[in-house]
Amino acid sequence: MTERTNLLGLDLQGLEGFFVELGEKPFRARQLLQWIHKYRIVDFAEMTNLSKVLREKLENVAEIRLPEVMHEHISVDGTRKWIIKLSCGNAIETVYIPEGGRGTLCVSSQVGCALTCTFCSTGQQGFNRNLDAAEIIAQLWIANQALDKDPKGNRVVTNVVMMGMGEPLANYANVITAMNLMRDDFGYGISWRRLTLSTSGMVPMIDKLREDCHVSLAISLHAANDKLRDEIIPLNKKYPIAELLAACKRYVVGQQRRHITVEYVMLEGINDSMTDAKDLVRILKDLPTKINLIPFNPFPGTSYKCSSRNKIVRFQQYLIDQGLVATIRKTRGDDIVAACGQLAGDVQDKTRRTERLAQQEVVFHQ
Ligand code: SAH
Ligand code: SF4
């Protein structure tokens, strides 16, 4: 028996193609998008605006298959974390952070990450594989479903950040398909202002993103000079700071209201001196940015420590005094290990890691 197509991971264009191939009208794609993503109906029999004949046809060739939720953890501060089991036996993590009127979902794009940033738990786990588009969008589907079912439930996902496990630009095609679904009015209707992709700096893919999909961009800078950035983010050796910032400038050209979010993790004694702050002001002076200082979140086996609160506040004040916009990220979900950089999931089968890394290298070169 041939495998049935999982419609969960098809965006409007993909679904239109699917229906045309089936000998149906492309407008069916919009109906399907609404059933799957707006109403979260996964049984074709319940899709009442499709004819019985079409529903039966769909049952034979397609399915809407979601991965299984292994655990849901709810923090005292309202943060939630879902551990989602994938068919290959690995698990990924998705985190929901409510704050005021907004609810932000932090979505994973890979099982592990190949980029080995020294301060990141995901990077230290190694890389297993890319998530497919269905596995990426499933995280938003699952979060909305759980929030809807909550009896206290006045919560929804209003914002998405591609800041969970993995480097989203290293899984480009699947991430774009999933973000198309997030933005589509027949899907989740999230505007580009509320959808942010964070990258450690894959320069050629930033340029491609600018062409392909309009979203907000965040970069993980974390160091204001190449010597230090080379050490903590190995990808910097390939795409140094000047090239990364030039790509950011190209990204904002012609988009008057757009700024780049600059993430800067505060590591005690590593990147938190006043010289670092001065260097940061100097290198960011020509770019519209909002700097987000992230207190380092420790994980088992790390020797890094988070800078003291005083030091972080002093660092922030200096940036503000120099005319930059700088905020300190609140650490949330401490009691359920859901903070930035702590997402570890369950990354198995790393035996072929070197080989897989070589494959990723091919992607970086494109
Ligand atoms: N791969 C992408 C997105 C995922 S990481 C990227 O690197 O941008 C999301 C953010 O968490 C990044 O800014 C990352 O540098 C930061 N981060 C990683 N480990 C961290 C830790 N232990 N404490 C605080 N922030 C961390
Ligand atoms: Fe990968 Fe981002 Fe972690 Fe670096 S910080 S290892 S790019 S997930």
Q: Please give all residues whose beta carbon lies within 6 A of any atom in ligand 2, as ranges.
A: 113, 115-117, 120, 122-123, 166-167, 200, 220
Q: Are residues 251 and 352 in the same domain?
A: yes
Q: Are residues 47 and 86 in the same domain?
A: no
In testing the pocket of ligand 1, which one of 265, 272, 292, 293 has its CB within 8 Å of the most ligand atoms?
265
Tokens, residue 249: 């400038």
Instruction: Indicate which atom in ligand 2 lies nearest the CA of residue 233.
Output: 4
331: pLDDT confidence band, cut at 50, 70 and 90?
confident
Q: Are residues 106 and 184 in the same domain?
A: yes
What are the pLDDT digits (tens) for 176-193? 999 999 999 999 999 999
256: pLDDT confidence band, cut at 50, 70 and 90?
low
* Domain contains 198: yes
> Is 359 a residue whose pLDDT tops 60?
no
Domain range enclosing 188: 68-358
- Is the Cα dihedral 341, 114, 109, 70 positive or negative? negative
Q: Are residues 303 and 210 in the same domain?
A: yes
Please check whether residue 327 is in contact with residue 289, taking contact to mean a CB–CB distance below 8 angstroms.
no
* Domain contains 363: no
Q: Are residues 146 and 53 in the same domain?
A: no
> Is 266 a residue whose pLDDT tops 60?
yes
Number of H helices, E strands in the chain: 12, 14
What are the pLDDT digits (tens) for 18-33? 999 999 999 999 999 9
What are the pLDDT digits (tens) for 283-313? 999 999 999 999 999 989 999 999 999 999 9
Q: Are residues 202 and 287 in the same domain?
A: yes
Indicate which residue's Cα is closest to atom 6 of ligand 2: 123
Please check whether residue 181 is in contact with residue 137, taking contact to mean a CB–CB distance below 8 angstroms.
yes
Domain count for the chain, please give it.
2
Distance of CA 111 to the CA centre of its chain: 12
* Domain contains 364: no
Question: According to the model, what pLDDT value does residue 101 have?
Answer: 86
CATH number, domain with residue 286 = 3.20.20.70
Q: Are residues 48 and 138 in the same domain?
A: no
Residue that terminates a domain, selected from 33, 63, 93: 63
* Domain contains 23: yes
Q: Are residues 153 and 197 in the same domain?
A: yes
* Domain contains 125: yes
* Domain contains 179: yes
Q: Look up 63 and say whether it is catalytic.
A: no
CA of 106 to the centre of ligand 2 (A): 14
> Is 348 a residue whose pLDDT tops 90?
no
* Domain contains 365: no
Q: Are residues 187 and 45 in the same domain?
A: no
- CA 171 – CA 83 distance, rounded (Å): 20
Q: Are residues 194 and 99 in the same domain?
A: yes
Q: Are residues 28 and 77 in the same domain?
A: no
What are the pLDDT digits (tens) for 161-177? 999 999 999 999 999 99
CATH number, domain with residue 30 = 1.10.150.530
Q: Look up 340 and say whether it is catalytic.
A: yes
pTM: 0.93
- CA 119 – CA 330 distance, rounded (Å): 18
Packing angle between helix 274-284 and helix 241-252, nearest 10 degrees? 40
Please state the rounded mean pLDDT for residues 91-120: 94
What are the pLDDT digits (tens) for 32-51? 999 999 999 999 999 999 99
